[in-house]
Structure 1
Amino acid sequence: MSHTAHIRSHRKPRRSASSLAMRAGVAGGVLSTLAVAGAAGPANAAEPVTQTLELPTLTADLATQAAQSADATQQAAANYQLQAERDAAAAKAAKQAKSDLADAKQKAADAKKKAEEAARKAAAERATRGTTRIALTADDTSGSTGTSTGTGTGSSTGSSTATGSAAAVISFVKSQLGKAYVSGATGPSAYDCSGLVQTAFKQVGVSLPRVSQDQSTAGTQVSLSDLQPGDILYWGSAGSAYHVAVYVGDGMFVGAQNPSSGVSEHPLSYDQPTGAVRVL
Protein backbone atom coordinates (compact mmCIF):
# COMPACT_ATOMS: atom_id res chain seq x y z
CA MET A 1 0.00 0.00 0.00
CA SER A 2 1.29 3.33 -0.91
CA HIS A 3 2.18 5.72 1.77
CA THR A 4 -0.06 8.26 0.19
CA ALA A 5 -3.06 6.15 0.00
CA HIS A 6 -4.57 7.57 3.10
CA ILE A 7 -4.36 11.09 1.77
CA ARG A 8 -7.53 12.40 0.04
CA SER A 9 -6.81 13.46 -3.46
CA HIS A 10 -7.05 17.22 -4.16
CA ARG A 11 -8.42 16.66 -7.60
CA LYS A 12 -12.11 17.24 -8.10
CA PRO A 13 -13.94 14.15 -8.92
CA ARG A 14 -14.82 13.75 -12.53
CA ARG A 15 -18.34 14.47 -13.48
CA SER A 16 -20.20 11.82 -15.11
CA ALA A 17 -21.47 12.11 -18.64
CA SER A 18 -25.03 11.96 -17.46
CA SER A 19 -24.53 14.89 -15.17
CA LEU A 20 -23.00 16.94 -17.89
CA ALA A 21 -25.81 16.09 -20.22
CA MET A 22 -28.38 17.16 -17.66
CA ARG A 23 -26.69 20.47 -17.19
CA ALA A 24 -26.45 20.99 -20.89
CA GLY A 25 -30.12 20.25 -21.21
CA VAL A 26 -30.97 22.76 -18.51
CA ALA A 27 -28.82 25.40 -20.15
CA GLY A 28 -30.39 24.67 -23.50
CA GLY A 29 -33.81 24.98 -21.99
CA VAL A 30 -32.95 28.31 -20.45
CA LEU A 31 -31.54 29.56 -23.70
CA SER A 32 -34.58 28.32 -25.56
CA THR A 33 -36.79 30.08 -23.09
CA LEU A 34 -34.83 33.30 -23.54
CA ALA A 35 -34.98 32.91 -27.27
CA VAL A 36 -38.70 32.42 -27.17
CA ALA A 37 -39.09 35.36 -24.82
CA GLY A 38 -36.89 37.44 -27.07
CA ALA A 39 -38.88 36.49 -30.08
CA ALA A 40 -42.09 37.17 -28.25
CA GLY A 41 -40.85 40.54 -27.07
CA PRO A 42 -40.29 42.06 -30.53
CA ALA A 43 -43.55 40.56 -31.69
CA ASN A 44 -45.41 42.26 -28.85
CA ALA A 45 -43.55 45.49 -29.60
CA ALA A 46 -44.63 45.34 -33.25
CA GLU A 47 -48.37 45.28 -32.48
CA PRO A 48 -48.75 49.13 -32.46
CA VAL A 49 -47.06 49.23 -35.86
CA THR A 50 -49.58 46.73 -37.16
CA GLN A 51 -52.43 49.00 -35.95
CA THR A 52 -51.02 52.11 -37.65
CA LEU A 53 -50.70 50.37 -40.99
CA GLU A 54 -54.42 50.97 -41.54
CA LEU A 55 -54.00 54.78 -41.33
CA PRO A 56 -52.48 55.22 -44.80
CA THR A 57 -55.45 53.29 -46.22
CA LEU A 58 -57.95 55.57 -44.45
CA THR A 59 -56.01 58.66 -45.51
CA ALA A 60 -55.96 57.55 -49.15
CA ASP A 61 -59.74 57.06 -49.11
CA LEU A 62 -60.26 60.52 -47.69
CA ALA A 63 -57.91 62.00 -50.28
CA THR A 64 -59.81 60.25 -53.07
CA GLN A 65 -63.12 61.53 -51.76
CA ALA A 66 -61.71 65.04 -51.42
CA ALA A 67 -60.36 64.90 -54.96
CA GLN A 68 -63.71 63.70 -56.29
CA SER A 69 -65.52 66.44 -54.39
CA ALA A 70 -63.11 69.04 -55.76
CA ASP A 71 -63.66 67.74 -59.31
CA ALA A 72 -67.42 67.90 -58.86
CA THR A 73 -67.20 71.43 -57.50
CA GLN A 74 -64.97 72.50 -60.37
CA GLN A 75 -67.32 70.92 -62.93
CA ALA A 76 -70.32 72.67 -61.35
CA ALA A 77 -68.47 75.98 -61.42
CA ALA A 78 -67.60 75.42 -65.08
CA ASN A 79 -71.25 74.66 -65.87
CA TYR A 80 -72.40 77.81 -64.07
CA GLN A 81 -69.84 79.88 -65.95
CA LEU A 82 -70.89 78.37 -69.29
CA GLN A 83 -74.56 79.08 -68.55
CA ALA A 84 -73.71 82.63 -67.52
CA GLU A 85 -71.81 83.15 -70.77
CA ARG A 86 -74.74 81.79 -72.77
CA ASP A 87 -77.20 84.04 -70.93
CA ALA A 88 -74.95 87.05 -71.50
CA ALA A 89 -74.63 86.20 -75.20
CA ALA A 90 -78.42 85.82 -75.55
CA ALA A 91 -79.02 89.14 -73.80
CA LYS A 92 -76.47 90.84 -76.03
CA ALA A 93 -78.04 89.33 -79.16
CA ALA A 94 -81.53 90.45 -78.07
CA LYS A 95 -80.28 93.97 -77.41
CA GLN A 96 -78.56 94.10 -80.80
CA ALA A 97 -81.68 92.80 -82.54
CA LYS A 98 -83.79 95.47 -80.85
CA SER A 99 -81.31 98.15 -81.91
CA ASP A 100 -81.24 96.83 -85.50
CA LEU A 101 -85.05 96.81 -85.63
CA ALA A 102 -85.21 100.40 -84.41
CA ASP A 103 -82.63 101.43 -87.01
CA ALA A 104 -84.54 99.64 -89.77
CA LYS A 105 -87.80 101.33 -88.78
CA GLN A 106 -86.11 104.73 -88.72
CA LYS A 107 -84.54 104.14 -92.14
CA ALA A 108 -87.88 103.01 -93.55
CA ALA A 109 -89.59 106.11 -92.15
CA ASP A 110 -86.86 108.34 -93.58
CA ALA A 111 -87.10 106.65 -96.97
CA LYS A 112 -90.89 107.03 -97.01
CA LYS A 113 -90.61 110.68 -96.07
CA LYS A 114 -88.07 111.30 -98.83
CA ALA A 115 -90.26 109.49 -101.37
CA GLU A 116 -93.31 111.56 -100.41
CA GLU A 117 -91.30 114.77 -100.59
CA ALA A 118 -89.94 113.80 -104.01
CA ALA A 119 -93.47 113.04 -105.23
CA ARG A 120 -94.73 116.43 -104.01
CA LYS A 121 -91.86 118.22 -105.70
CA ALA A 122 -92.45 116.32 -108.93
CA ALA A 123 -96.16 117.19 -108.82
CA ALA A 124 -95.35 120.84 -108.18
CA GLU A 125 -92.92 120.89 -111.09
CA ARG A 126 -95.46 119.29 -113.42
CA ALA A 127 -98.08 121.75 -112.28
CA THR A 128 -95.73 124.67 -112.94
CA ARG A 129 -94.90 123.39 -116.43
CA GLY A 130 -98.59 122.78 -117.08
CA THR A 131 -99.49 126.31 -115.98
CA THR A 132 -97.01 127.67 -118.48
CA ARG A 133 -98.45 125.52 -121.28
CA ILE A 134 -102.00 126.57 -120.36
CA ALA A 135 -101.01 130.23 -120.42
CA LEU A 136 -99.52 129.85 -123.90
CA THR A 137 -102.62 128.05 -125.13
CA ALA A 138 -104.85 130.74 -123.66
CA ASP A 139 -103.02 133.38 -125.66
CA ASP A 140 -103.76 131.44 -128.84
CA THR A 141 -107.41 130.70 -128.04
CA SER A 142 -108.52 133.77 -126.10
CA GLY A 143 -111.30 134.44 -128.62
CA SER A 144 -112.62 130.86 -128.72
CA THR A 145 -115.72 129.62 -126.88
CA GLY A 146 -116.34 126.35 -125.06
CA THR A 147 -112.71 126.09 -123.79
CA SER A 148 -110.92 126.72 -120.53
CA THR A 149 -109.76 130.28 -119.85
CA GLY A 150 -106.28 128.78 -119.36
CA THR A 151 -105.37 130.98 -116.42
CA GLY A 152 -105.77 128.14 -113.98
CA THR A 153 -108.08 130.24 -111.79
CA GLY A 154 -111.18 130.69 -113.96
CA SER A 155 -114.13 128.36 -114.50
CA SER A 156 -114.76 126.22 -117.54
CA THR A 157 -117.32 127.46 -120.04
CA GLY A 158 -118.13 123.91 -121.01
CA SER A 159 -121.42 122.50 -119.76
CA SER A 160 -121.62 119.80 -117.15
CA THR A 161 -124.18 117.03 -117.09
CA ALA A 162 -123.84 116.48 -113.37
CA THR A 163 -127.00 116.28 -111.32
CA GLY A 164 -127.92 115.88 -107.68
CA SER A 165 -125.03 115.37 -105.26
CA ALA A 166 -122.40 115.39 -108.02
CA ALA A 167 -123.65 118.78 -109.21
CA ALA A 168 -123.42 120.11 -105.63
CA VAL A 169 -119.83 118.86 -105.27
CA ILE A 170 -118.84 120.47 -108.57
CA SER A 171 -120.55 123.71 -107.67
CA PHE A 172 -118.64 123.83 -104.40
CA VAL A 173 -115.16 123.18 -105.84
CA LYS A 174 -115.72 125.78 -108.56
CA SER A 175 -116.76 128.30 -105.92
CA GLN A 176 -113.33 127.82 -104.32
CA LEU A 177 -111.34 128.66 -107.48
CA GLY A 178 -108.60 131.19 -106.85
CA LYS A 179 -108.14 130.34 -103.17
CA ALA A 180 -104.68 129.61 -101.83
CA TYR A 181 -102.95 126.25 -101.58
CA VAL A 182 -101.69 125.59 -98.04
CA SER A 183 -100.45 122.17 -96.97
CA GLY A 184 -102.80 120.68 -94.36
CA ALA A 185 -105.55 123.28 -94.90
CA THR A 186 -109.22 122.29 -95.24
CA GLY A 187 -110.77 125.73 -95.85
CA PRO A 188 -112.48 127.99 -95.92
CA SER A 189 -109.77 130.39 -97.17
CA ALA A 190 -107.14 127.83 -98.22
CA TYR A 191 -106.87 124.13 -99.04
CA ASP A 192 -104.49 121.38 -99.93
CA CYS A 193 -105.58 118.83 -102.54
CA SER A 194 -107.18 116.26 -100.23
CA GLY A 195 -108.56 118.98 -97.97
CA LEU A 196 -110.53 120.47 -100.89
CA VAL A 197 -111.91 117.07 -101.94
CA GLN A 198 -112.87 116.12 -98.39
CA THR A 199 -114.65 119.43 -97.73
CA ALA A 200 -116.46 119.32 -101.08
CA PHE A 201 -117.97 115.88 -100.43
CA LYS A 202 -118.81 116.85 -96.87
CA GLN A 203 -121.29 119.34 -98.38
CA VAL A 204 -123.42 116.42 -99.60
CA GLY A 205 -123.04 114.29 -96.46
CA VAL A 206 -120.24 112.03 -97.69
CA SER A 207 -117.41 111.52 -95.18
CA LEU A 208 -114.08 110.89 -96.89
CA PRO A 209 -110.68 110.08 -95.37
CA ARG A 210 -108.35 113.04 -94.86
CA VAL A 211 -105.34 112.10 -97.00
CA SER A 212 -104.87 111.38 -100.71
CA GLN A 213 -103.68 107.80 -100.19
CA ASP A 214 -106.94 106.83 -98.47
CA GLN A 215 -109.20 108.88 -100.75
CA SER A 216 -107.79 107.00 -103.78
CA THR A 217 -109.43 103.81 -102.46
CA ALA A 218 -112.55 105.34 -100.88
CA GLY A 219 -114.93 104.35 -103.68
CA THR A 220 -115.25 102.12 -106.74
CA GLN A 221 -112.33 102.21 -109.16
CA VAL A 222 -113.41 103.50 -112.61
CA SER A 223 -111.63 103.77 -115.93
CA LEU A 224 -110.40 107.18 -117.08
CA SER A 225 -112.32 106.54 -120.30
CA ASP A 226 -115.57 106.23 -118.34
CA LEU A 227 -115.38 109.29 -116.10
CA GLN A 228 -118.49 111.02 -114.78
CA PRO A 229 -118.72 114.49 -113.20
CA GLY A 230 -118.08 114.20 -109.47
CA ASP A 231 -115.54 111.36 -109.74
CA ILE A 232 -112.35 111.70 -107.69
CA LEU A 233 -109.17 111.70 -109.76
CA TYR A 234 -105.87 110.58 -108.25
CA TRP A 235 -102.21 110.64 -109.20
CA GLY A 236 -99.91 107.80 -108.18
CA SER A 237 -101.14 104.29 -107.43
CA ALA A 238 -104.36 103.41 -105.60
CA GLY A 239 -103.57 103.42 -101.89
CA SER A 240 -100.36 105.37 -102.45
CA ALA A 241 -101.67 108.43 -104.28
CA TYR A 242 -99.87 111.74 -103.76
CA HIS A 243 -102.51 114.06 -105.32
CA VAL A 244 -106.31 114.15 -105.83
CA ALA A 245 -108.83 116.41 -107.57
CA VAL A 246 -112.50 116.42 -108.68
CA TYR A 247 -113.57 115.73 -112.25
CA VAL A 248 -116.10 118.39 -113.25
CA GLY A 249 -117.00 117.16 -116.75
CA ASP A 250 -116.04 118.13 -120.30
CA GLY A 251 -112.50 116.81 -119.79
CA MET A 252 -111.81 119.25 -116.93
CA PHE A 253 -110.91 118.89 -113.27
CA VAL A 254 -110.65 121.23 -110.28
CA GLY A 255 -108.06 120.75 -107.60
CA ALA A 256 -105.81 122.52 -105.12
CA GLN A 257 -102.69 122.04 -107.22
CA ASN A 258 -99.72 123.76 -105.60
CA PRO A 259 -98.71 127.03 -103.91
CA SER A 260 -98.14 128.76 -107.24
CA SER A 261 -101.58 128.06 -108.79
CA GLY A 262 -103.77 127.42 -105.73
CA VAL A 263 -107.27 126.05 -106.37
CA SER A 264 -107.57 125.97 -110.15
CA GLU A 265 -109.30 124.26 -113.07
CA HIS A 266 -107.40 122.37 -115.78
CA PRO A 267 -107.96 119.95 -118.65
CA LEU A 268 -106.97 116.33 -118.10
CA SER A 269 -104.09 116.84 -120.53
CA TYR A 270 -102.59 119.38 -118.13
CA ASP A 271 -101.48 116.52 -115.86
CA GLN A 272 -102.87 113.14 -116.80
CA PRO A 273 -104.25 111.38 -113.70
CA THR A 274 -103.45 107.77 -112.92
CA GLY A 275 -106.91 106.59 -111.96
CA ALA A 276 -110.30 107.53 -110.53
CA VAL A 277 -112.82 106.41 -107.94
CA ARG A 278 -116.57 106.99 -107.79
CA VAL A 279 -118.30 107.60 -104.47
CA LEU A 280 -121.61 109.11 -105.68
Structure 2
Amino acid sequence: MIIAGTLALCVASVAVVAPGAGAATHASTSQRIVTVAKKYVGHARYRYGGSSPKHGFDCSGFTKYVYKKAHVAKLPHNAERQRDMHRVEHVSKKHRKVGDLVFYMSGGDAYHVAIYAGHNKTYSATDPRQGITHKKIHGKHIRYGRLKS
Protein backbone atom coordinates (compact mmCIF):
# COMPACT_ATOMS: atom_id res chain seq x y z
CA MET A 1 0.00 0.00 0.00
CA ILE A 2 2.81 2.41 0.82
CA ILE A 3 4.56 1.55 -2.45
CA ALA A 4 1.44 2.39 -4.47
CA GLY A 5 1.07 5.71 -2.64
CA THR A 6 4.73 6.52 -3.25
CA LEU A 7 4.39 5.64 -6.93
CA ALA A 8 1.33 7.88 -7.25
CA LEU A 9 3.22 10.72 -5.58
CA CYS A 10 6.16 10.29 -7.98
CA VAL A 11 3.89 10.25 -11.02
CA ALA A 12 2.10 13.37 -9.79
CA SER A 13 5.44 15.09 -9.27
CA VAL A 14 6.57 14.29 -12.79
CA ALA A 15 3.31 15.65 -14.21
CA VAL A 16 3.77 18.91 -12.31
CA VAL A 17 7.47 19.34 -13.11
CA ALA A 18 7.42 18.39 -16.79
CA PRO A 19 5.49 21.44 -18.07
CA GLY A 20 8.09 23.77 -16.53
CA ALA A 21 10.94 22.17 -18.48
CA GLY A 22 10.65 24.75 -21.28
CA ALA A 23 11.02 27.61 -18.81
CA ALA A 24 14.11 25.95 -17.33
CA THR A 25 15.55 25.61 -20.82
CA HIS A 26 15.01 29.32 -21.56
CA ALA A 27 16.52 30.22 -18.19
CA SER A 28 19.66 28.20 -18.86
CA THR A 29 19.93 29.61 -22.41
CA SER A 30 19.55 33.19 -21.21
CA GLN A 31 22.02 32.54 -18.40
CA ARG A 32 24.60 31.27 -20.91
CA ILE A 33 24.07 34.35 -23.10
CA VAL A 34 24.47 36.76 -20.18
CA THR A 35 27.49 34.90 -18.78
CA VAL A 36 29.32 35.23 -22.10
CA ALA A 37 28.21 38.84 -22.75
CA LYS A 38 29.15 40.30 -19.37
CA LYS A 39 32.62 38.78 -19.58
CA TYR A 40 33.54 41.39 -22.22
CA VAL A 41 32.18 44.53 -20.53
CA GLY A 42 35.15 46.84 -20.16
CA HIS A 43 37.49 44.16 -21.56
CA ALA A 44 36.90 44.29 -25.31
CA ARG A 45 37.11 47.20 -27.68
CA TYR A 46 34.79 48.41 -30.38
CA ARG A 47 35.86 47.96 -33.99
CA TYR A 48 33.61 48.48 -36.99
CA GLY A 49 33.23 45.13 -38.75
CA GLY A 50 34.76 43.30 -35.78
CA SER A 51 33.48 40.02 -34.39
CA SER A 52 36.14 38.76 -31.98
CA PRO A 53 37.56 39.69 -28.58
CA LYS A 54 41.06 39.82 -30.06
CA HIS A 55 40.28 42.35 -32.79
CA GLY A 56 37.19 44.02 -31.30
CA PHE A 57 33.45 43.97 -31.92
CA ASP A 58 30.83 46.04 -33.64
CA CYS A 59 27.24 45.63 -32.43
CA SER A 60 26.16 42.72 -34.63
CA GLY A 61 29.59 41.12 -34.39
CA PHE A 62 29.20 41.10 -30.60
CA THR A 63 25.72 39.52 -30.63
CA LYS A 64 26.86 37.02 -33.25
CA TYR A 65 29.91 36.05 -31.14
CA VAL A 66 27.97 35.83 -27.85
CA TYR A 67 25.19 33.66 -29.29
CA LYS A 68 27.74 31.35 -30.91
CA LYS A 69 29.87 31.03 -27.73
CA ALA A 70 26.72 30.45 -25.66
CA HIS A 71 25.79 27.62 -28.09
CA VAL A 72 22.49 29.31 -28.97
CA ALA A 73 22.64 30.06 -32.70
CA LYS A 74 24.65 31.29 -35.65
CA LEU A 75 23.62 34.85 -36.37
CA PRO A 76 24.48 36.92 -39.44
CA HIS A 77 26.87 39.86 -39.03
CA ASN A 78 24.34 42.65 -39.60
CA ALA A 79 21.74 44.13 -37.21
CA GLU A 80 18.89 44.22 -39.76
CA ARG A 81 19.64 40.71 -41.01
CA GLN A 82 19.56 39.45 -37.40
CA ARG A 83 16.17 41.13 -36.89
CA ASP A 84 14.83 39.73 -40.14
CA MET A 85 15.93 36.12 -39.58
CA HIS A 86 13.11 33.61 -39.97
CA ARG A 87 14.04 32.15 -36.56
CA VAL A 88 13.62 35.49 -34.76
CA GLU A 89 10.24 35.92 -33.12
CA HIS A 90 9.36 39.54 -32.43
CA VAL A 91 8.29 40.09 -28.81
CA SER A 92 6.77 43.06 -27.02
CA LYS A 93 8.54 45.10 -24.39
CA LYS A 94 6.19 43.54 -21.84
CA HIS A 95 7.28 40.01 -22.83
CA ARG A 96 11.02 40.60 -23.31
CA LYS A 97 13.38 38.29 -21.42
CA VAL A 98 17.05 38.30 -20.49
CA GLY A 99 19.09 37.18 -23.49
CA ASP A 100 16.66 38.56 -26.09
CA LEU A 101 18.00 40.72 -28.90
CA VAL A 102 17.29 44.46 -28.69
CA PHE A 103 16.99 46.26 -32.02
CA TYR A 104 17.30 50.02 -32.38
CA MET A 105 15.18 51.08 -35.33
CA SER A 106 15.20 53.89 -37.88
CA GLY A 107 13.00 54.06 -40.96
CA GLY A 108 11.80 50.48 -40.45
CA ASP A 109 15.29 48.94 -40.30
CA ALA A 110 17.55 47.99 -37.40
CA TYR A 111 20.72 50.08 -37.28
CA HIS A 112 21.98 48.71 -33.94
CA VAL A 113 21.54 45.48 -31.96
CA ALA A 114 22.27 44.60 -28.34
CA ILE A 115 21.49 41.84 -25.82
CA TYR A 116 18.81 42.38 -23.19
CA ALA A 117 20.36 42.09 -19.72
CA GLY A 118 17.23 42.65 -17.62
CA HIS A 119 16.21 45.73 -15.61
CA ASN A 120 15.94 47.83 -18.81
CA LYS A 121 19.68 47.38 -19.56
CA THR A 122 21.68 45.85 -22.41
CA TYR A 123 25.09 44.43 -23.19
CA SER A 124 26.29 46.19 -26.30
CA ALA A 125 29.20 47.17 -28.54
CA THR A 126 28.32 50.80 -29.08
CA ASP A 127 31.29 52.87 -30.19
CA PRO A 128 35.12 53.09 -30.04
CA ARG A 129 35.09 55.29 -26.95
CA GLN A 130 32.91 52.98 -24.85
CA GLY A 131 33.75 49.49 -26.12
CA ILE A 132 31.47 46.79 -24.69
CA THR A 133 28.99 48.28 -22.23
CA HIS A 134 26.24 47.34 -19.79
CA LYS A 135 23.87 50.29 -19.76
CA LYS A 136 20.26 51.45 -19.81
CA ILE A 137 18.24 51.14 -22.99
CA HIS A 138 17.85 54.52 -24.66
CA GLY A 139 15.60 55.67 -27.48
CA LYS A 140 11.97 55.29 -28.43
CA HIS A 141 12.17 53.10 -31.52
CA ILE A 142 13.13 49.78 -29.95
CA ARG A 143 12.08 46.28 -30.98
CA TYR A 144 12.82 42.97 -29.24
CA GLY A 145 13.47 39.59 -30.78
CA ARG A 146 13.89 36.06 -29.50
CA LEU A 147 15.12 33.01 -31.36
CA LYS A 148 12.41 30.40 -31.77
CA SER A 149 13.19 26.98 -30.34
TM-score by length of 2: 0.72
Instruction: Summarize the alignment of residues 143-182 of structure 1 with structure 2, pairs less than 5 Å apart.
Output: 163-178=27-42, 179-182=44-47
Contact 2:29 2:72 in 1 (8 A): no
Contact 2:45 2:53 in 1 (8 A): no
Structure with the larger strand share: 2
Q: Structure 1: how far apart are the matches of 2:103 and 2:83?
A: 6
- What does the per-residue CA deviation read over 1:238-275, in whole Å, with 9 as the maximum and x for residues that have no partner? 9721100000112211100111111001112x345510
Q: Which residue of 2 aligns with 1:197?
A: 63
The letter of the residue matching 1:255 is S
The letter of the residue matching 1:266 is K
Matched, 1:216 2:73: no
- What does the per-residue CA deviation read over 1:53-81, in whole Å, with 9 as the maximum and x for residues that have no partner? xxxxxxxxxxxxxxxxxxxxxxxxxxxxx
Structure with the larger helix share: 1
Contact 1:237 1:274 in 2 (8 A): no
Matched, 1:275 2:122: no
Matched, 1:256 2:121: no
Q: Structure 1: how far apart are the matches of 2:141 and 2:41?
A: 20
Q: Report the aligned-residue RMSD.
A: 1.9
Q: Structure 1: how far apart are the matches of 2:57 and 2:140?
A: 21
- The partner residue of 2:101 within 200, 217, 232 is 232
The letter of the residue matching 1:202 is K
Q: Structure 2: any 5+ residue segments left out of the alignment?
A: 1-25
How many residue pairs get aligned? The number is 118
Contact 1:184 1:192 in 2 (8 A): yes
The letter of the residue matching 1:186 is S
Contact 2:41 2:134 in 1 (8 A): yes
Identical aligned residues as a percent = 25
Q: Which residue of 1 aligns with 2:21?
A: none
Change (3 A) 1:272 1:264: farther
Instruction: Summarize the alignment of residues 181-192 of structure 1 with structure 2, pairs less than 5 Å apart.
Output: 181-189=46-54, 190-192=56-58
Q: Structure 2: how far apart are the matches of 1:175 and 1:273?
A: 28
Q: Cα offset for 1:183? A: 0.2
Q: Which residue of 1 aligns with 2:13?
A: none
Q: Structure 1: how far apart are the matches of 2:47 and 2:140?
A: 23
Which of the pair has more CA radius of gyration? 1
Instruction: Summarize the alignment of residues 136-147 of structure 1 with structure 2, pairs less than 5 Å apart.
Output: none
Q: Structure 1: how far apart are the matches of 2:140 and 2:134?
A: 13
Q: Structure 1: any 5+ residue segments left out of the alignment?
A: 1-161
Contact 1:181 1:256 in 2 (8 A): yes
Q: Structure 1: how far apart are the matches of 2:140 and 2:130?
A: 17
Q: Cα offset for 1:226? A: 1.8
What secondary structure, in the 3-state scheme, does the structure 1 residue paired with 2:84 have? Answer: coil
TM-score by length of 1: 0.40
Q: Cα offset for 1:230? A: 0.7
